[in-house]
Amino acid sequence: MIFVIAGEPSFEELIKEIDRIVPELKEPVIAQIGNGKYIPKNCKWFRVHFPLYPYYKKADIIVSHHGAGTIFEVLKFHKKLICVENAFKGRNPDLMSELSKGGYLIDCKKISDLKKCISLARKTKIKKYKSPKCEIGETIIKFLNRD
Q: How far apart, in whole angstroms, are the C-alpha atoms of residue 73 and residue 118?
A: 20
Domain residue ranges in the chain: 2-144
Domain 2-144's class? alpha beta
The whole-chain average pLDDT of the chain stands at: 90
* Predicted confidence (pLDDT) per residue in 55-97, tens digit: 999 999 999 988 888 899 999 999 999 999 886 554 566 778 8
Confidence at residue 85, expressed as pLDDT on a 0 to 100 scale:
85
Confidence at residue 92, expressed as pLDDT on a 0 to 100 scale:
61
Alpha carbon separation from 94 to 1, 86, 91, 107 (Å, rounded): 28, 13, 9, 10
> What sign results for the dihedral spanned by CA atoms 80, 15, 69, 98?
positive
Extract the runs of DSSP E, i.e. beta strands, from 39-93. Answer: 44-46, 61-64, 80-84
Residue 44 phi/psi, 5-degree rounding, is: -70, 150
Cis preceding-peptide flag for 51 (omega within 30 of 0): yes
